[in-house]
Structure 1
Amino acid sequence: MKTTIKEIGKHVEQSVTIGGWLANKRSSGKIAFLQLRDGTGFIQGVVVKAEVGEETFKLAKELTQESSVYVTGIVRADDRAPSGFELTVTGIELIHEAVDYPITPKEHGTEFLMDHRHLWLRSKRQHAIMRIRNEIIRATYEFFNEQGFVKVDPPILTGSSAEGTTNLFHTKYFDEDAYLSQSGQLYMEAAAMALGKVFSFGPTFRAEKSKTRRHLIEFWMIEPEMAFMDHEESLQVQENYVSSIIQSVLKNCEQELKALERDTAKLEAIKAPFPRISYDDAISFLQEKGYEIEWGEDFGAPHETAIAEAHDKPVFITNYPKDIKAFYMKPHPERDDVVLCADLIAPEGYGEIIGGSQRIDDAELLKERYDEHNLSEDAYGWYLDLRRYGSVPHSGFGLGLERTVAWISGTEHVRETIPFPRLLNRLYP
């Protein structure tokens, strides 16, 4: 019976065949131990010379790392094994012999591993991170579908910037200028006016010359927009969403978290509601801690980490100064110097994972913002139309997938949280 390592527990004491690769091996006299992987998981195959014969045992001992094989054997329950099972091998069929596989069990430098990213993905650690990433994506669709959201796909090629910044990748769109999208938000607002509650999930691009462990040039964003929803209601959606994906990872990725040696107790504590601190209070807190920062300045990584360390859950920093936030954010009803927005800061030094706000719904005020930010009405006229024709209170946010994967999986650098990272000095492979 053909099966996968993930499903092997359904066939205890039965003979099964799995197709896979040899991750590693060791032998002791007349027994060989094969570490096998098939994409769904890892399992040990035990080959006993007296039980399989000379030819099969010789093949087992000569197998090279990453050679592909069909392995047949009896499934045994084994509490000592990470997966709870191992395979008593009865037969091996070599599919393809790998020669001089470059990533050996010894230590390799980061640049070497990045040059061989297409192979590094096969390792146990990278396998675990990618499966956690997949679970977060699966749980995201489940959460928003259950909440009545509609999935909408905004364009990747745009004629303007969502946030009016210059960190854009420019290209030619036939005889026009175009840019790779840095956010689908503006288009999602249009979709929300048509469909009520919407979300997108796709790649975004920032031409930001940053080398920190939190930054990628190409990354994926989940961006919900919600009509008839104010800022506080949006915060509740955000904390419920983050709580939901963490519970899904804890439930469905137990083996992967164990392989990464993640402290799951810290994740188990992450349940809504999350604490909130105003920008004003955050500045006072940092100044009391000895940080040199003035009101009106944005927070850097050390500031966010200090604020996060004061809480045991993700923390919302609310109501930032208008001058350091995007043009579309709605002013606070009682203050014209701050806006109705929040950044969600993850614990353990992982920084901002969500940025969100209530959007301006008044056409005249938005037009004023265009003028303040030197935005062309030729490029942004369609966005102003959303306020001219049936404007409503609406809010939205964006969650950066890779930072979220890094936090939940306990991975230090975001380059390991995406299959093929695009970094400041890396476009290969």
Structure 2
Amino acid sequence: MKTTINQVGQFVNQEVTIGAWIANKRSSGKIAFLQLRDGTGFIQGVVVKAEVEEDVFKFAKSITQESSVYITGKVRADERAPSGYELTITAMELIHEAVDYPITPKEHGTEFLMDHRHLWIRSKKQHAVLKIRNEIIRATYEFFNKEGFVKVDPPILTGSAPEGTSELFATKYFDEDAYLSQSGQLYMEAAAMALGRVFSFGPTFRAEKSKTRRHLIEFWMIEPEMAFVEFDENLEIQEQYVSYIAQSVLENCQLELKTLGRNQESLQKIQAPFPRITYDEALAFLHKEGFDDIEWGDDFGSPHETAIANHYDKPVFITHYPTTLKPFYMQPDSKREEVVLCADLIAPEGYGEIIGGSERINNLELLEQRLNEHQLDPKAYEWYAELRKYGSVPHSGFGLGLERTVAWMAGVEHVRETIPFPRLLNRLYP
């Protein structure tokens, strides 16, 4: 019976054949232990000299790391095994012999591993991170489909930018200037006026010369936009969504979380509702904690966000930032014009902002005023302004950064490990 590693539990005490790679091996006299992987998971295969043909045992002892093989053996339940199963091998067939595989079971430097990212993703921990990424993506589609959202794909090449063009990659679109998208939000607002509740999921690009553990040049964003949804309801949808994906990871990625040594207690606490504090309250808290260098109107940096997040055991919303700190499209608070109806969701454990969102301006005159204040070309945003001209309604949205969310839920230090092939300030290879 041909099967895969993640399906062997269906065949206990039966003989199966699996196509696999040799992740690692060791031998102890008359027994060889092979760590096998097939993409769906990892399992240990045991070759006992006395129970197999001599050439099978010889082959097991000599097979090289990352060689590909067909393995035939009997599935045994084993409580000590991470997956709960082990394979007693009876036959092996070589598909391809790997020679001098560069990533050995010893310590390698980060740059070496990044140069060999195309191979590093085969390792157990990187495999676990990418499986958790996949689960977050799966749960994202499930959540928004269940909640009646429509998936819409905004363009990647744009002629304007939601937050100005200073950190965008410019290109030529025949005889026009164009940019790689830093957000699909403006287009998603248009889609919301047609379809009610929409979400996008796609790549975004920031030409930001940052080397922190939270930044990538190319990353993926989930961006919902909702007609007839005001500020408070927007926050409720965000916390329900984040709670949903966290519980999905807990339910469906137990093996991966254990492989990564992730503290699951902190993930279990990610259930709505989340605490909310205003920018003013956050500023007062920071002053109390000894951050005397920050004043009203200053943006929060990583140390500030971490200090605030450490005060809670769930993600925390920081709301009502000064208007001057935020993009042109955010709706001001009617009771206090110098702040906007926005919120950043800060993850615990030092992972920083994972969501930025707001109620959007729905008044044409105010939007035109903001475009002028931000020195943005009104012609480039004419189509966007027309959304306020023809049946404007209150509407809100947010954007969640996938890689930061994966880093947080998987408990990994740097976002470069949360995407298969990261694009960093100094890296466009492989």
Range class of TM-score, shorter chain: over 0.9
Partner SS state of residue 387, structure 2? helix
Aligned to 2:273: 273
- Paired residue for 1:426? 427
| Aligned-partner residue type, residue 87 of structure 1 | L
In 2, Cα distance between equivalents of 1:427 and 1:62: 37
Aligned to 2:341: 340
Distance 1:168 1:192 in 2: 25
- Residue in 2 aligned with 1:303? 304
Is 1:13 aligned to 2:1, yes or no?
no
Give me the whole-angstrom Cα distance separating, in 1, the residues matched to 2:189 and 2:163. 14
Q: State the 1:375 CA deviation.
A: 1.1
> Is the Cα–Cα contact under 8 Å of residues 372 and 378 in structure 2 kept in the other structure?
no
Quote the residue 2:416 is aligned against. Answer: 415
User: In structure 1, what is the equivalent of residue 290 of structure 2?
Assistant: 290
Q: Write the distance in 2 (CA, Å) between the matches of 1:331 and 1:3.
A: 58
Q: Deviations over 1:295-320 (max 9, x none)?
A: 00000000000000011100000000
**Percent identical residues:** 76
Aligned twin of 1:58:
58
Corresponding residue number in structure 2 for 1:28: 28
Query: Please, what is the CA RMSD of the aligned residues?
Result: 0.4
**What is the deviation of 1:53?**
1.4
SS at match of 1:389: coil
Distance in 2 separating the partners of 1:96 and 1:187:
49
Please name the residue that 1:161 is paired with.
161
Q: Secondary structure at the match of 1:212?
A: coil
Deviations 1:347-368 (CA, angstroms, capped at 9, x unpaired): 0000000000000000010000
In 2, the alpha carbon distance for the partners of 1:367 and 1:223 equals 24
**TM-score relative to the length of structure 2:** 0.99
- Identify the residue that residue 240 of structure 2 maps to in structure 1: 240
Match of 1:322 in 2: 323
State the alpha-carbon separation in 2 of the partners of residues 307 and 377 from structure 1.
38
Partner of 1:375: 376
Q: Is the 8 A contact 2:19 2:70 kept in 1?
A: yes
Which whole-Å CA distance do the structure 1 matches of 2:295 and 2:371 have between them? 27
Where do 5+ consecutive residues of structure 1 fail to align? Answer: none
Question: What is aligned with 1:406?
Answer: 407
The letter for the 1-side match of 2:369 is E
Q: Does 1:112 align with 2:112?
A: yes
Q: Is the 8 A contact 2:4 2:38 kept in 1?
A: yes
Match of 2:363 in 1: 362
Counterpart CA distance in 2 for 1:131 and 1:70 is 24
What is the aligned partner in structure 1 of residue 222 from structure 2? 222
Displacement of 1:163 after TM fit? 1.2
List structure 1 runs of 4+ shifted beyond 2 angstroms. none
Offset of residue 162 of structure 1:
1.2
Give deviations 1:342-400, integer Å, cap 9, x for gaps.
00000000000000000000001000001101111210000000000000000000000
Write the mapping of 1:68-83 to structure 2, written as runs, cut at 5 A.
Answer: 68-83=68-83
Q: Deviations over 1:137-191 (max 9, x none)?
A: 0000000000000000000000011112410000000110000000000000000
Matches of 2:412 and 2:359, distance apart in 1: 32
Rounded Cα–Cα distance in structure 2 between residues aligned with 1:112 and 1:197: 45
1:60-79 per-residue CA deviation (whole Å, 9 max, x = no partner) reads 00100000000000000000
Aligned counterparts of 1:367 and 1:346: Cα–Cα separation in 2: 34
CA displacement 1:105-144 (0-9 Å, x = unmatched): 0100000000000000000000000000000000000000
The one-character-per-residue Cα deviations of 1:198-253 (angstroms, maximum 9, x if unpaired) are: 00000000000000000000000000000000010000000000000000000000
Structure 1 counterpart of 2:226, one-letter code: M
Q: Distance in 1 between matches of 2:2 and 2:177?
A: 53
Unaligned runs of 5+ in 2: none
Contact residue 299 and residue 325 of structure 2 kept, 8 A = yes
**What SS does structure 2 have at the residue aligned with 1:379?**
coil
Please tell me whether residue 87 in structure 1 is matched to residue 87 in structure 2. Answer: yes
**Aligned amino acid, residue 127 of structure 2:** H
SS in 2 for 1:18: strand
Equivalent residue runs for 1:102-251 within 5 Å: 102-251=102-251
- Are residue 47 (structure 1) and residue 23 (structure 2) matched? no
